[in-house]
Amino acid sequence: MSAVQANKIADEKNLDLVKISPTANPPVCKIMDYGKFRFDTAKKEKDARKNQKTSEMKEVWLSMTIDTHDLETKAKQAAKFLKNGDKVKVSIRMRGRQQAHAALGVEVMNDFFALVQNDGEMNKKPLTEGRNIIMILQPKK
């Protein structure tokens, strides 16, 4: 039908004439309450965003001279982050003479990963970047 007829019908029903697919030939239109339509779509988008899980990057700092019990405590905290679905960045800052023995820091990182490997997997292996050693863990799929 023509646009004039469709507009007339929409006005009689106190509704709006909305173009569904304006690029089609002829354009496809629908008679509806446009305000209610916009409200419903906004509500659906809000619900979709609310149910969406965003994973954060949590960080755990270690020391090259960390003791076993402290390492277990940090591993327990990292395991909790991984169970929540977050990624974990494990960092060691080397101070002074420790920079000459970066291999010891990588060894501490591997010990740490051995404690949390049931809950996560290694996304990025321990790498020395300047004064820091960084490893990234992600939850198991």
**What pLDDT band is residue 27 in, cutting at 50, 70 and 90?**
confident
Q: Give the C-alpha separation, 2 to 19, whole Å.
A: 13
Q: Give the C-alpha separation, 120 to 115, whole Å.
A: 10
**May I ask the CATH architecture of the domain 3-51?**
Roll (3.10)
Q: Mean pLDDT in the chain?
A: 89
**What pLDDT band is residue 26 in, cutting at 50, 70 and 90?**
confident
Q: Is the pLDDT of residue 52 over 80?
A: no
pLDDT at 49: 85
Overall pTM > 0.75? no
pLDDT at 51: 80
Tell me the per-residue pLDDT of 92-130, one tens digit each, with 9 for 90 and over: 999 888 888 888 989 999 999 999 989 889 989 998 888
**May I ask the CATH architecture of the domain 57-139?**
2-Layer Sandwich (3.30)
Average pLDDT over residues 68-93: 93
**What pLDDT band is residue 141 in, cutting at 50, 70 and 90?**
confident
Q: Which residues contact 63 (CB under 8 A, 6 or more apart)?
A: 92
DSSP string, 24-64: SSSPEEEEE-HHHHHHHHHHHHHHHHHHPPPPPEEEEEE-T
Q: Give the C-alpha separation, 21 to 24, whole Å.
A: 6
Q: Give the C-alpha separation, 11 to 92, whole Å.
A: 70
Domain boundaries along the sequence of the chain: 3-51, 57-139
pLDDT at 115: 92
pLDDT at 89: 95
